[in-house]
Amino acid sequence: MTLIECKGLNLHYDNHQAVKDVSFSVNEGDYLCIVGENGSGKSTLLKGLLGLRSPSSGSILFNGIRQTQIGYLPQQNPVQNDFPASVFEVVLSGCLGTKRLNPFYGRKDKQRANENIEKLGIGNLIKISYRDLSGGQQQRVLLARALCATEKLLLLDEPASGLDPVVTSELYQLIENLNKEQGVTIIMISHDILSAVKYANIILHMDTSLKFFGTVDEYKETSVFKRMIGGNV
C-alpha cells in the first residue's frame, strides 16, 4: 500500500527554491534513504512531509496515515541535548501528537512509553535526566519518543550525526530492526552513502530536483552513486 505520494512538489526556504518538481512515492514497509550534497533540499523535503513547509506547487498525498501520526527524529542540537527532563518524561512526550483535544496522559500512554523504552533497550535509564546521557543514549531516547507518535512511519534527519562508529552501527541496526521486525516504514536523511545502500531498500538522491529514485541495486549502477563514493565500488 502506498503511504505517501508526492507529485511535482516544489518547496521554498527563505525565498530560495529548495525542492524543485520532485515526484516519488513511499510504500508501506519501505526503508527509504534520502541522500545528496549539503544544500540539496533533503531537510526541506522532510519538513514538507511533516507539514512544517507548505508546497508552493505540487502535492503531498497521504493514504492511511495522518501527518500527526508520523514519528520524527530531528537533527541533534545543543538546546535539545541539555533538556532537563527524565528519560521517561521525554519518551512520554511523544504521545502528545496523538492526544488531539485531551492534553493529559493516560494509562495507555504510559504503557506505550514503557514498551518503547524497553524496545530501544533503555529501561535502565528511565529515571535518569536526559541531559546526563551520552549522544548514543540520547538518540535511543528520541527514537523511543518518535515511536510513541506512530506505529507506521518514522522520519529521521541524520540520526547518526556526531556519533562514533560503534554507536552509529548500533543505531542503524536498531532502525533496521524496527523496519524489518516491527514493520515500521522508514524515511531517513543520511550523508553516509555506504550505510544508506547497506540498510535501505529505496534511494532518493536529491540535488534540489530529483537525481535518482529507485531501488538500491539500481542506484549502485548509476554514475551519481559512483561519483559520491569517489569511484570506488
Give 51 or 99, the one with higher predicted confidence: 51
Please tell me whether residues 166 and 201 are part of one structural domain: yes
| pLDDT-derived band at 197, boundaries 50, 70, 90 | very high
**Is 163 within the bounds of a domain?**
yes
Question: What pLDDT band is residue 81 in, cutting at 50, 70 and 90?
Answer: low
223 and 157 co-located in one domain: yes
Are 53 and 11 within one domain? yes
Q: Per-residue pLDDT for 210 more than 60?
A: yes
Which of 85, 120, 150 terminates a domain? The answer is: 150
Q: Does residue 79 have a pLDDT over 70?
A: no
CB-based burial label for 85 (10 Å; 0-12, 13-18, 19+): middle
For residue 70, is it within any domain?
no
Check residue 101 and give its pLDDT.
52
Q: What is the average per-residue pLDDT within 93-104?
A: 69
Residue 72 covered by a domain? no
In Å, how far are 55, 191, 207 from 20, measured between CA atoms?
A: 10, 20, 9
Tell me: do 93 and 132 sit in the same domain.
yes
Residue written as cell 540520547? 138
Looking at the fold, whether 50 and 165 belong to one and the same domain comes out as: yes
Statement to judge: residues 129 and 159 lie in one domain: no
Give the mean model confidence (pLDDT) for residues 2-30: 94
Q: Are 21 and 9 in a shared domain? A: yes
pLDDT recorded at residue 233: 46
pLDDT at 194: 92
Model pTM? 0.88
Closest C-alpha to 213, from 39, 43, 34: 34
* Per-residue pLDDT reduced to its tens digit, 105-144: 888 899 999 999 998 899 999 999 999 998 889 999 999 9
Same domain, 159 and 225: yes
pLDDT band of residue 90 (cuts 50, 70, 90) is: very high
How many structural domains are present in the chain? Answer: 2
Q: Which domain holds residue 58?
A: 1-65+152-233
pLDDT in tens, 28-46: 999 999 999 888 999 999 9
Domain boundary among 119, 150, 181: 150
What is the per-residue pLDDT for 97?
Answer: 65
Rounded mean pLDDT of the chain?
89
Indicate if the pLDDT at residue 232 is higher than 60: no
Question: Does any domain span residue 71?
Answer: no
104 or 25: which leads in pLDDT: 25
Q: What is the DSSP string of 154-184?
A: EEEESTTTT--HHHHHHHHHHHHHHHHTT--
Q: Choose the final residue of a domain: 124, 150, 176.
A: 150
Residues 60 and 156 in one domain: yes
CATH number of domain containing 45: 3.40.50.300
The reply to whether 145 and 167 lie within a common domain is no
118 and 135 inside one domain: yes
123 and 187 inside one domain = no
| Structure confidence at residue 14 (pLDDT) | 82
Average pLDDT over residues 217-229: 92
Mean pLDDT across the stretch 152-171?
Answer: 90
Arithmetic mean of pLDDT, 197-226: 95
Residue 135 domain flag:
yes
- For residue 231, is pLDDT > 60? no
